Structure 1
Amino acid sequence: MAGNTDSERRAVLDAETIAVVGCSATPGKPAHEVPAYLDAHGYTVVPVNPYAERVLGHAAADSLAEIDQRVDVVDVFRPREEVPGIVDAAIARDDVGAVWLQVGIQHADAEERAAAAGLRVVSNSCIKVDHQRLVAP
């Protein structure tokens, strides 16, 4: 599957804006700590959480379709069964260049559909860990 080489992951990490689907308002959860790390390292983080108004000091969107700014990467912290719908929403936007599925999240059909639509795909991997390994000084 695409996105498995370090050079492909570096290309994804060259993004500016990351929409975090499933971003949590609860400190201590990976879905909160990872976006906090990304925010602290200069990325514009757009939380997608229909149950929160703000996360990490940023206005939370209810869905990818509601985001009114450019999105380079969609980082997913949602269960596997939700991935196809999230990928469809990412494909429907004309600005998303990559979909990143966090550790433990894979969906071969959705990943193939995203890749066929021209999106880079990384699955079953932590964007924070890869940033620390490949980008951070």
Structure 2
Amino acid sequence: MPLESPDDLRRVLAYDRVAVVGASTSFEKAAHIVPAYLQRHGYELWPVNPTADEIFGRRAFDSLTDVPASVDIVEIFRPSEEVPGIVGEALDRDDVRAIWMQPGVGDDDAARKAEAAGIDVVQDRCMKVEHGQLVRNPMD
């Protein structure tokens, strides 16, 4: 069952290395706004977008499999029908601790597979909103 309690969400938000699958170069899209916010709040981003060379001042990778660094959270900004493949790539890694599906993105079967492998799952929630409500210092 996807995580929903504030304490569980805070625990996931405490991880700091995020692979952003579907990161966008378009400043007006949520797939750019949300990760840019996370980067400003200290998260290390690994953008995944096969049509971009660089996003957020970092090299963009063609797939989650290509990200050479350790990843704590896989944040998904792709259509729900792509989630099973992305979760499959996450399960092939030994470093992923959580999968975060942004609002409107979800797949219950893929979520169950990830949870069965010991990976936390957050589904249909905005990482920026949750961070702002649960973690961020109000004086930021």
Indicate whether the TM-score tops 0.5.
Answer: yes
Distance 2:89 2:118 in 1: 14
Alignment of 1:1-137 (within 5 A): 1-137=1-137
User: How far did 1:49 drift?
Assistant: 0.3
**Identity of matched residues, %:** 48
User: How far did 1:2 drift?
Assistant: 2.8
SS in structure 1 opposite 2:96? coil
- Note the residue ranges of structure 1 that are not aligned, 5 or more in a row: none
SS in structure 2 opposite 1:115? helix
Listed one character per residue, the Cα deviations across residues 37-82 of structure 1 (whole Å, up to 9, x for unaligned) are: 0000000011000000000111001111101100000000000000
> Deviating runs (4+, > 4 A) in structure 1?
none
Distance 1:36 1:28 in 2: 11
Provide the aligned length of Structure 1 versus Structure 2: 137
- Note the residue ranges of structure 2 that are not aligned, 5 or more in a row: none
Question: TM (normalized to structure 2)?
Answer: 0.96
Distance 2:98 2:27 in 1: 26
Superposed CA RMSD in Å reads 0.6
